[in-house]
Structure 1
Amino acid sequence: MLRYSLLTAGLLLGTSALAAPAGDLPLMPWPASVERPAKQGALVLNNHLSISVSGDDLDDAVGRLRQRIALQTGWTLQPQADNPPNATIAITIAQKVDPLPKLDSDERYTLTIDANGVKIAANTRFGALRAMETLLQLIQNGTENTSLPWVTIADSPRFPWRGLLLDSARHFVPLDDIKRQIDGMAAAKLNVLHWHLTDDQGWRFTSKRYPRLTQLASDGLYYTDAQMREIVRYATARGIRVVPEIDMPGHASAIAVAYPELLSAPGPYAMERHWGVLKPVLDPTKPATYAFAEAMVSELAAIFPDAYLHIGGDEVDDTQWKNNPAIQQFMHEHQLADSHALQAYFNRKLETILEKHHRQMVGWDEIFHPDLPKSILIQSWQGQDALGDVAKQGYKGILSTGFYLDQPQYTAYHYRNEIVPQGLNNVDVIADNDSAQSWAFTLPRLKGSPLEGSFTLIKGEGKWRGFIDFKGKSRRAVQDIDWRSDRQVSFRVDTWMGETRPVITINDDKISGYFLLGNVRYPISGARLDDVPKGIAPVVPDASQQANLLGGEAALWAENVVAPVLDIKLWPRAFAVAERLWSAQDVNDSDNMYARLQAIDSWSAVSVGLQQHSQQQVQFTRLANNADTVPLHILAQAIEPAQYYTRQHLKFQAGNYHQFEPLNRFADALTAESSTVRQMNQWANRLVSDAEDSASAGALRHVFNRWQNNTSDALALCESNYQLKAMKPVVQEVDKLASIGLRLTDLVARQGTLDDEEIAAIQRELDNAAQVQDEVVIAAVYPLEKLLRATANR
């Protein structure tokens, strides 16, 4: 179900006041240069349009372009001759190149639309392919005709490596679903499919030399050579590289089932069904281990032509190494000081094998070691500091921290995630006339040890600034410091856990409250510090070292993702990540991004065939027992899946953190964030700042009335399906919140106030509603809190 038609989305963009440097065209990623003529006009299209290509053969790309224009317009296009003269869309390619995309492929293009037609000019086929996606995003079905706006675009990417990791190991992904994601990647100008093919829970490709891998460790779900070649062909035609990943030496439980003799402990081993960091690890001292690695590299190199091959290398549990006397003796004889040195020994041997097959090594942070050559590429899940250290030491790196799309997170959080590590800009330099206060805190988590750290708030020259220190991590500046009262303060900081908003209450020298990790409250406690703590400075490479940062990858790990909800988890958020990797660093206005993302969300469902809306409709239909799904769509407006890793940790606590845990809850059908709640926050902000803003007040009332009118129908659906029963209290809470919202909206609109006792009572209701229930959060609590604070006596 599309929330808006393409026409409506386009009109919304055209009438919005949007900030530079990105403008009001429905484009994502935003191009490097966009120029509109002083006298704006449009090129009217009809079903006689034609396309010509000169300079190179784009294979079936022209046919795909015509097909998608037909989808966007609803036309049946008139047949055209090959390369017709005076074509509506003329594509000129300067040089013919190998159609196999490479790291240094030239993706530059210019696109000109005026009264004379459309002209695309590119140095190579890759620039032409990117230009065609931009062109498709510009097609507008207007009130009188279908047209393209007059515009001149000159475009090129900021980073050459713009990837997406798909995990087929945890939950198998059928070929058609992978192809659809490749289409989405092409539309977003992403150019690397990182295909995670092996892990503890499954080996997903055939091996001629080691057939037991799929016979014993795949549950019959794997890809044949022909199928993998088909994915390479499909991606190549769209200008996308495919980099396969086999995980070594850790994450080896599947190998252990098939070939236990390669492991560092004798077993026996059974198929691993639980998620987590597990103990099976290859034995780096055995020649048979390297024969296995040689076979895997050889077989993959024959299928995947890309210059890079990913060897994993992350999260190695060294228990088996430490408990194996032969391995310990080997380390002593080879002067290997610790397990990291042993893994580096393994990787040096593996790098030699890769070099033999003309492949370069990619691996996660843990492979980084000075004994390895500078030709390796480090993919960082540990963050900008780790990546900054990689760049400073002359190694190439790409970033995935902050781009984990398997985590439900606000799109703005991913959008703010900068590849190049940032400094503190002296925010922690305390001058003589500054007043600083520092507080230690402890934050228990649902899984793992508590987080400890401190934050410091500084008042200087009438303004507040501050920073936060998590134990063992570098210092970060905080934003949006808001003293809600003399005893309560809030601020924002982006962390590896997502958007983090502490709400701290001060009682003498003690603090309480919570850290809002995304949309989930994690209670904290702490005390005042006598002195400002010494922190760890961020690792910031200099300008020349920053050239070692090649880009980044979004990651969609599959512990909580199965094919029927794949698109819901990935799109449209991946477009925002793609923009961070393609567009200029100063294209960073989140409101502008959300306005364009709304249009792209609808466009991608029509033009690209992405299924984020249709998959949700299917899931809601299942949950509604084939009844009317409208009540679930309305309920979803108020609700978001619990963010950060909250859902995984709750499953872990319940003993359900495994491969067969059903992903069939209401939470699984939800997008990462509610666009309605985001709009409500904007309306609440406007109403609080201007009580006479009747439009915002009316919009809020409309939403609250809709929720109240939906309650009985939503409760009936909860009774009809056991999978929805746990949502019944959530529906009842949403009904209560709607009543509170109507009252608060009216109070703020007439500048009324509540006494402290009433405010405290309503706050208790909101606090209760904010708790996680059945892995979801009623995110509507937060705009209501803004309205509530506005009713306090000023």
Structure 2
Amino acid sequence: MRKLFISALIIFWAVQLSNAQLIDEKKYNLMPWPNEITPGEGNFIIKKDFTVSILENGTQRLYQATTRFIRRLSGRSGVFFEEGFPNRKKDSSSFKIRIKREGKLKLLEDESYGITVHKNGIVLEAETDIGAIRGLETILQLLESNGDHFYIPSVTIVDSPRFPWRGLMIDVARHYQPVEVLKRNLDAMAAVKLNVFHWHLTDDQGFRVESKSHPKLHELGSDNQYYTHNQISEIVQYASDRGIRVIPEFDVPGHATAMLTAYPELGSKDTIYQIERYAGVFDPTLDPTNEKTYQVLEDLFSEMALLFPDKYFHIGGDENEGKHWNENTKIIEFKKKHGYKTNHDLQTYFNLRIQKILQKLGKKLVGWEEIMTPEMPTTAVIHSWRGVNEGLSPGASLIQAAKKGHHSILSTGYYIDRMNNVKDHYLVDPIPDPSNVTPQEQQLILGGEVTMWGELVTPLTLDSRIWPRTAAIAERFWSPRSVTDIAYMRKRLSVISFRLEELGITHLKNRDVILRNIANGFDIQALIELTKVCQPLKMYTRNKGGIEYKSYSPFTLFADACTTDAPDAYRFKNLVNAYVLDPKESKRTVIALLNSWVQNHGDLQSIKNRTPLTNDILKLSFALKEMSVFFLKMIKQEGVSKLDHATFIKLIEEAKQPHADVELVLNESFEKLFKHLKKNEL
């Protein structure tokens, strides 16, 4: 009996310690969350005598990364360090780094690391310099402060990624993004441990690469907005210094209008091609029966293979509807002669020709899921992108590819240009349903990619569409599958978000740049408040049913200032939930927020006659003000004996109407509040 009591007591205290550690861990603002973290005792205080040593097998990449680390630590803490660079083999340094070898920028390279922080120093150990770079970012995220100093809490971390392919695709074909924009996004990628930059370089709206073998491609297909060979090498090196691979995409045989503007003889229709100015899927397609098509592509890919050293090369291959193939008698005869019953069969023929070209160049083909056919060699990587919106189950092609022996990567659920909330992305796992694949097939699922298509973004707004949501998705690629606490993710993400400004990311400050333009230089505070309850229309509806945007249309409007996850909408949702449970505790705060929206509409009126850009915005604000007045009367019971259901229906319908390409994201909360008040009406 005594033994049982002692065993039970041990178990009880073990559970308490485990719970205490879990609570203690919640103080860290780490993203992605590491595999193992154990809190220690005390803190390492950042002082002017802080020094860093790279003790073993130091590389130029690690030296540069450590120098950047020192600069960021000094800038964030305001401490004037006596030594501004890492030294080599100085055992007395307060921060010691040890690695075993230089890492290679390749799939499945070791990125693991271990960190030990105690009050007298820090040790970072890793197999490769790339792993050490990942660890440096974690240490920066650990930095905390009090009223006296900045410090890093004592802690032990053992960490490694769940998936080897953790990517961000940026489409520069629809809207060209200058080199400095790409660089700051590479810095942000490294900060959250992403390791693949997928560079979507060609599409109907532009061919963005200098080609010395076929210069008309960039001369006629880019509007003079393209990357020179030197700039490409600069980006590849910049990424390499941060442990990031660069994979180019040249989309063929569809999405080819810009290419055909330069070389119309490669097209499937005898017509004059012009660079496309609208968004969408278009008919121009390379002619797969023309041998010159393969000659030009082999020349181009041979040239590009020298610029992009990574083994993987993306050919697109998506959304070819084959209309021009169906209208071309020569192509129809070719299909009959070779026994191709469908355009998909013909595209398979094309893809296999391209695969052999890339194989000669030492490259492995990557393509969107449409390239997957029985004939395609399993060396090809399948990029899964279609999901519920295309009438398919999420990740269906990913699992299908794994079962056929292909490596695969997932983008379904990570299309951030669709303007879904961070929760929607965060809960999508690169392995959609582990029960549907064997352990061996799971090994073929390499990870995932965030996709930032460029139809509705410019250098002014790109960062606000990528960040901070991509940091949360990066956690899905790196951290254990079990890390899914939404509330804690939001807490950490709010910290990571403003830390990204340190790297030059403009997602926060450019909101006000856009709003000052809208207000014509007048006070923008009322506009700021309205952005906190609005978000851009989702799922490309911004570009449908109203004004259709061209590539050179203005992207300096209210919708461009708004982002997903409107903070006051999220706050109001939590307040309403609390009010439903206990009105006494949250009534005053709910009333204050409703009053602020009434007041804000009045403040917006002050700039009504100073700029026409506020007219549609005021319709949103008016709907919010009217709804707020309604609920203030309900909650305060000011001259209203019972709830007016008809009035609420009228108000909620007006509140649901989009204006200025945005929508209020308060309506579910309003409906829940009304339902509660109605239920409890006396």
Q: What's the TM-score, normalizing by structure 1?
A: 0.79
Instruction: Please say if 1:686 is aligned against 2:578.
Output: yes
Task: Kindly report which structure 2 residues correspond to 1:454-465, keeping only aligned pairs within 5 A, or say none.
Answer: none
Distance 1:776 1:377, change over 3 A: same
Residues 125, 132 of structure 2: 8 Å contact kept: yes
- 8 Å contact from structure 1 (residues 737, 781) kept in 2: no
RMSD: 2.2
Corresponding position of 1:45 = 46
Do structure 1's residue 257 and structure 2's residue 147 form an aligned pair? no
Measure the CA separation in 2 of the matches of 1:352 and 1:692. Answer: 71
CA distance in 2: counterparts of 1:745 and 1:175, whole angstroms: 54
Q: Distance in 2 between matches of 1:295 and 1:21?
A: 58
Aligned mate of 2:609, from 719, 724, 728: 719
Amino acid at match of 1:658: K
492, 514, 517: which one pairs with 1:622? 517
Which of 247, 252, 257 lines up with 1:243 in the alignment? 247
Counterparts of 1:333 and 1:207, CA distance in 2: 35
Gaps of 5+ in 2: 1-19, 388-394
Mapping of residues 465-544 of structure 1, within 5 Å: 540-544=436-440
Secondary structure of the 1:166 match is: strand
Q: For residue 90 of structure 1, what is the aligned residue in structure 2? A: 96
- Between 1 and 2, higher relative CO (CA 8 Å, sep ≥ 6) is seen in 1
With over 3 angstroms needed to count, the CA separation of the structure-2 counterparts of 1:23 and 1:273, relative to structure 1, is same
Mapped pair 1:676 → 2:568:
yes
Counterpart position of 2:146? 142
> Which of residues 217, 221, 243 in structure 1 aligns to 2:221?
217
Cα distance change on mapping 1:224 and 1:91 into 2, 3 Å: same
Return the match for 1:709 from 599, 602, 606.
599
Structure 1 residue 247: deviation in Å? 0.5
Of 498, 523, 532, which aligns to 1:602? 498
Whole-angstrom distance in 2 between the partners of 1:235 and 1:371: 34
Q: Within the alignment, does 1:764 sit opposite 2:639 as a pair?
A: no
Q: CA separation in 2, counterparts of 1:710 and 1:382?
A: 41
Corresponding residue for residue 441 of structure 2: 545
The CA deviation at 1:293 is: 1.1
Aligned to 2:419: 408
**Could you tell me how far 1:310 is from its partner in structure 2?**
0.4
The separation in 2 between residues aligned to 1:689 and 1:214, in whole angstroms, is 62
Distance in 2 (alpha carbons) for counterparts of 1:371 and 1:397: 17
Structure 1 range deviating more: 257-266 or 622-631: 622-631
Aligned match for 1:634, one of 529, 553, 565: 529
* Separation in structure 1 between the aligned mates of residue 254 and residue 628 of structure 2, nearest angstrom: 50
The alpha-carbon deviation at position 675 of structure 1 amounts to 1.4
3-state SS of 1:207 partner: coil
* 8 Å CA contact retained: 2:601, 2:618: no
Tell me the SS of whatever aligns to 1:735.
helix
TM-score, normalised relative to structure 2: 0.92
1:738 counterpart SS class: helix
Residues 1:19 and 1:576: Cα distance change in structure 2 (over 3 Å): farther
Shift of 1:241: 0.4
Q: Structure 1: state its 5+ residue gaps.
A: 1-16, 426-539
Instruction: Map 1:144-159; keep pairs closer than 5 Å.
Output: 144-159=148-163
Distance 2:211 2:152 in 1: 50
Q: Counting helix residues as a fraction of each chain, which structure ranks higher?
A: 2
**1:177-201 alpha-carbon deviations (Å, 9 max, x no partner):** 0000000100111100000000001
The answer to whether residue 460 in structure 2 is matched with residue 564 in structure 1 is: yes
Whether the aligned pair in 1 keeps the contact of 2:115 and 2:158 (CA below 8 Å) is yes
What is the alpha-carbon distance in structure 2 between the residues aligned to residue 18 and residue 586 of structure 1? Answer: 17
Q: Which residue of 2 aligns with 1:593?
A: 489
Q: Report the residue type matching 1:86 in the other structure.
A: S
Matched ranges for 1:14-25 at <5 A: 23-25=26-28
From the superposition, tell whether residues 96 and 422 of structure 1 become closer, same or farther in structure 2 (CA, over 3 Å).
Answer: closer
Taking the aligned partners of 1:611 and 1:737, their CA distance within structure 2 comes to: 33
The SS at the match of 1:162 is strand
Of residues 317-326 and 256-265 in structure 1, the stretch that sits farther from structure 2 once superposed is 317-326
Query: Retained in 1: the 8 A contact 2:385–2:411?
Result: yes
Q: What is the letter of the counterpart of residue 787 of structure 1?
A: L
CA contact (8 A) 1:400 1:552 kept: yes
Opposite residue 636 of structure 1, the aligned amino acid is: T
Using the TM superposition, give the Cα deviation of residue 398 of structure 1 relative to its aligned residue in structure 2, in angstroms: 0.6
CA distance in 1 between partners of 2:608 and 2:355 (Å):
56
1:774–1:18 distance in 2 versus 1, CA, 3 Å? farther
After alignment, is 317-326 or 246-255 more displaced? 317-326
% of aligned pairs identical? Answer: 36
**How do 1:713-792 residues align onto structure 2 when only pairs under 5 Å count?**
713-746=603-636, 755=642, 758-792=644-678
Cα 1:686–1:564 change in 2 (3 A) is: same
Alpha-carbon distance, 1:708 to partner: 2.4
Give the Cα–Cα distance (whole angstroms) in 1 for the partners of residues 84 and 424 of structure 2: 46
Is 1:664 matched up with 2:666? no
Q: How does 1:266-281 map to 2 (within 5 A)?
A: 266-281=270-285
Which of 567, 570, 573 matches 2:469? Answer: 573
- Check the 8 A contact 1:281/1:317 in 2, yes or no: no
Say if 1:190 and 1:240, in contact at 8 Å, map to a contact too.
Answer: yes
The reply to whether residue 76 of structure 1 matches residue 99 of structure 2 is: no
